[in-house]
Structure 1
Amino acid sequence: MMTATNKLLTIKIAHTIIWVFFVSVIVYILYTGIIDAVNTYTWVGIGLVVAEGLVLLAFRSFCPLTVLARRYSDSDLDNFDIFLPNWLAKHNKLIFTILFAVGVVLVLWRTFINF
């Protein structure tokens, strides 16, 4: 049987892997917009990030894994549920929302204005 500590560790590992995936997708979107290489994967990435945003909205700006991890920790640190520096966990949504928005603007520019 898993202890609370092991459950929290499992959630932290899963959360970090998912975070790395979505950061990679956001960087890819930004990159394809910068180098004018928009493709199907760019649009799939945008769809995935929008879907993630809808999930966050449904959970009142919290990742469902954060909600789950709260069962196993009463820490008030922003990184209690993920392997990130606390400052990055605290500002994560702001940083990557800005990068995503810039990427989407570039992709839209490259696709519809800068033929």
Structure 2
Amino acid sequence: MIVNQNKLFLIKIAHTLIWAIFVGIIFYILYCGITGRVTIYTWIGIGIIVGEGLVLLLFKMYCPLTVLARRYSDSERDNFDIFLPEWLARYNKVIFTSLFLLGLALVLYQRFA
């Protein structure tokens, strides 16, 4: 069981780091939309987040790392696979999809209005 715990721990670390990168990109998009500083990096960030959304759709709204972590845990907790508070893990998609859509709307407004 220690081997499984080690694998789950490594997945949790990777998942948390990747999550932080995506959150950083979402906040960058929001910042660009608020300030009007829309650059090629803004569009690259939007593409990355849209790509993440497609991956989630492909995996039936689960992160592939969650699917992988499920092999090493039967926990029912929302944060079993990531180092986040349970409430944030539970509402993660709603919170950050909303922030992304707001940022995207602001970027599109700044660029095309």
Output the TM-score relative to the length of structure 1.
0.96
1:44: how far off?
0.2
Q: Secondary structure at the match of 2:32?
A: helix
Gap regions ≥5 residues in structure 2: none
Hey, what's the Cα distance between the residues in 1 that align with 2:49 and 2:32? 15
Partner of 2:66: 66
Distance 2:89 2:52 in 1: 17
* Stretches (4+) displaced over 2 A: none
**Structure 1 position 7, deviation (Å):** 0.2
Task: Count matched residues.
Answer: 112
**Cα distance in 1, alignment partners of residues 100 and 94 from structure 2:** 10
Identity %: 63
Residue 76 of structure 1 deviates from its aligned partner by 0.3
Q: Distance in 2 between matches of 1:78 and 1:71?
A: 15
Once the two structures are superposed, what CA deviation does each residue of 1:52-93 show, in whole Å capped at 9, x if it has no partner?
000000000000000000000000000000000000000000
- Cα RMSD of the aligned pairs, angstroms, is 0.7
CA distance in 2, matches of 1:36, 1:111: 8
Q: Supply the distance in 1 between the matched residues of 2:33 and 2:58 (Cα, whole angstroms).
A: 29
Q: CA deviation at 1:12?
A: 0.2
What is the CA–CA distance in structure 1 between the aligned matches of 2:96 and 2:104, rounded to whole Å?
12
> What is residue 18 of structure 1 aligned with on the other side?
18
Q: How far does residue 3 in structure 1 lie from its aligned partner after superposition?
A: 0.3
Instruction: Note if 1:40 corresponds to 2:20.
Output: no
Tell me the residue number matched to 1:3: 3
User: C-alpha displacement at 1:6, in angstroms?
Assistant: 0.3
Cα distance, 1:103 vs structure 2 = 0.2
> Does residue 88 of structure 2 align to residue 88 of structure 1?
yes
Which residue does 2:97 correspond to in 1?
97
Q: 1-side partners of 2:32 and 2:50: how far apart?
A: 17
